[in-house]
Amino acid sequence: MRIAVTGARGFVGGAVCRAAAEAGWTVHALTRADWDLCEGPLTNAPEADAVVHAAAAVGDWGAPGPVWRANLTGTRNVAASFPGARLVHISTASVYDPFRPTVFARETEAPVRRYLTYYAASKAAAEQVLRDRPDTVVLRPHAVYGPGDRTLLPRLLSAVRGRTLWLPGDGTALQSLTHIRNLTTAALLACDRATAPGTYNIADADAVPIGDALRELLAARGIPVRLRTVPGTVASAAATTAETVWRLAKRAQPPRVTRYAISHLAMERTLALDAARQGLGFHPEPTSFHGARSW
């Protein structure tokens, strides 16, 4: 198998490259130094049976232009660069409705018309662009974690004050988390043309209560914490105020709490995995924070 991987220096792209190399595949690792996806299709693209598109602008804050160019224009250019290859597009479960709980959502429940962030809206638009492209697989993971995570874990660690972590909601909201190992397994399965093209949720085997998961992760890092909760409505109102102030002040860094973050912590966010099990032969492992001290 010969694959190309965009975003090869990122958390997901790098993990896919390593997993494919361990499987004995030929890997063309594409980074921003090799190709600016926003500038146009890649000239002299490498021969590849599949391309895993993992490059993206990730986050719930920032100017809309760069996010839309990276996530929508970049996706168009990747598709144009590898017309004969299977395209495995790493999307996100953020394309589901952020204003109501996601309860073992099936793939047909997204995209929706309203989003809280440019990230979610642009990823939903990218999925729409790929809808009619032949031989395409869209993967929707939620809350990807594990070795090399540069987004969720740093943000969680920065939220701990002393030995206290404040959590919106009551800490019992169920969450489908996605270990990076489960995501790379799904990505490699999706590269195989013997599996069915389509859109698939990807997550760990079972959903977990968010409070328990955070306690366990921090304990595995050697950081015992006291989890304290605040009603979701109160947290959301505070986040709305903070976002308004931050935007008026034109601050580049996000406020400590955002409506997007609250929507993923205070409400259930669970995914149905039936389609991935059947279409990809995906058999996910359970949620695990083993080795988290070194992440």
- Tokens encoding 166: 């404040």
pTM above 0.85, yes or no: yes
Highest mean pLDDT among 21-25, 56-60, 113-117, 251-255: 21-25
Q: Across all residues in the chain, what is the average pLDDT?
A: 95
Tell me the CA distances in angstroms from 60 to 22, 85, 183, 231, one per residue in order: 33, 31, 21, 21
User: Is the Cβ–Cβ distance between 148 and 180 less than 8 Å?
Assistant: yes
For tokens 């996530």, name the residue.
Answer: 71
User: Is the Cβ–Cβ distance between 96 and 124 less than 8 Å?
Assistant: no
**42 confidence band (pLDDT: 50, 70, 90):** very high
Please tell me the distance from the alpha carbon of residue 287 to that of residue 295, in angstroms, as a whole number. 15
Size of the chain in residues = 295
CA 267, 187, 111, 136: dihedral to nearest 10 degrees? Answer: -170
Please tell me the distance from the alpha carbon of residue 96 to that of residue 118, in angstroms, as a whole number. 14
Please tell me the distance from the alpha carbon of residue 74 to that of residue 56, in angstroms, as a whole number. 8
- Tokens encoding 195: 């599996």
One-letter amino acid of 211: G
Which residues lie below 8 Å from residue 162, measured CB to CB, with a gap of 6+? Answer: none
User: Is the Cβ–Cβ distance between 216 and 156 less than 8 Å?
Assistant: no
**61 confidence band (pLDDT: 50, 70, 90):** confident
**254 confidence band (pLDDT: 50, 70, 90):** confident
Q: What is the pLDDT of residues 106-147, one digit of tens each?
A: 999 999 999 999 999 999 999 999 999 999 999 999 999 999
Pairing of strands 269-271, 136-141: unpaired
Q: Could you tell me which of 29, 26, 268, 17 has the C-alpha nearest to residue 143?
A: 268
Q: Which neighbouring-strand residues pair with 5?
A: 29, 52
